[in-house]
Amino acid sequence: MNESDVRSLLEEVEDPDLGTDIVSGNLVNDVRIEDDVAHVSLALGAPYSPTESAIAARVREVLDAEGIESELTANIEREEEVLPGVKNVIAVASGKGGVGKSTVAVNLAAGLSQLGARVGLFDADIYGPNVPRMVGSDERPKATAEEQLIPPEKYGMKLMSMDFLVGEDDPVIWRGPMVHKVLTQLFEDVEWGALDYMVVDLPPGTGDTQLPLLQSVPIAGAVIVTTPQDVAVDDARKGLEMFGKHETPVLGIVENMSGFVCPDCGSEHDLFGRGGGREFAADVDMPFLGEIPLDPRVREGEDGAPLVLGEGDTAEALRSFTETTANNVGIVHRNRRRE
């Protein structure tokens, strides 16, 4: 057994999304043979995504079938960045408020953590920070001797929010350069550590609050949240255009508040219509990440636990959305390897 033999075997492993084998798709960084063990480095950049986990499992299966013991690692090359320990930054955005963007961001982060990933959740909505309340976190960040903030953790997520740094009833009236400075500090002056994903809950809209993030932080991709009705879709289209101007990959469109199942009678009602997000995604040739039902437990808050961690149709929809989003992060990275 030599390196060439192993690479020939790896040509049997297909990338189900891109339609190539992993060798011709440039997804094999390196193959080394040491003590009859094949050490294979794969260019996979979306940890715990179902598709990339399946690719790695298939590599082990192909080599094991030939009696070859293997050890796999996964990494992609990154330039020096603002957040060198963070593998992927996912921005969650909407063209308008009131579409459940923060709910989607919280459940995406919690869902990724549930898959096994190391996750940070950054509440960058400085005018209306509410993520700590949504997850029932009342712990404040601690500080190191070097005046770095240590983010509190909840449900496997490291949390940072303006809500930690201002009084509960204090109005936030910063503009322009002040916003840029605050967001930069919240990124750079926090000990995030090593993360597979950082989910960023952006402020709604397409104003100058979003620009510091897009200009200074390499974003793996953005999720655009809409509800089914036309006015929300029109505003979501503006959000899509904002990311396009900054050449930020868009992972897809998710339709929130898509249908309501009455907890008393069990009948289903389309309070805000249905299908607007799917139609919008098809119209702009973007992936559709799924439909998330309107669930009264979001309003009730229960014990602060994100719904994705529970049971029922809403939890299943959120888990499916999380997995699809993680898979699309991987597609973005693997497509770049082909360029």
Binding site for ATP, residues?
95-102
How many CA atoms lie less than 13 Å away from 250 in the CB half-sphere? 26
Q: Give one word for 92, left, alpha or beta, with left for phi > 0 and alpha for psi -120 to 50.
A: beta
Number of H-type helices and E-type strands within the chain: 10, 17
Q: Which residues are annotated as a binding site?
A: 95-102
Closest CA to 127 of 102, 158, 159: 102
Contact 30, 73 (CB under 8 A): no
Q: State which amino acid sits at residue 296.
A: P
Please tell me whether residue 160 adopts helix, strand or coil conformation: strand
Question: How many other β-carbons are positioned within 10 Å of the β-carbon of residue 91?
Answer: 28
Contact 254, 277 (CB under 8 A): yes
Please give the Cα distance from 68 to 61 (Å, whole number). Answer: 10
Which residues neighbour 302 within 8 Å (Cβ) at sequence distance 6 or greater? none
In this structure, what are the phi and psi dihedrals at residue 247, rounded to the nearest 5 degrees? Answer: 55, 40
Q: Which two tokens stand for residue 166?
A: 């201002």
How many CA atoms lie less than 13 Å away from 100 in the CB half-sphere? 23
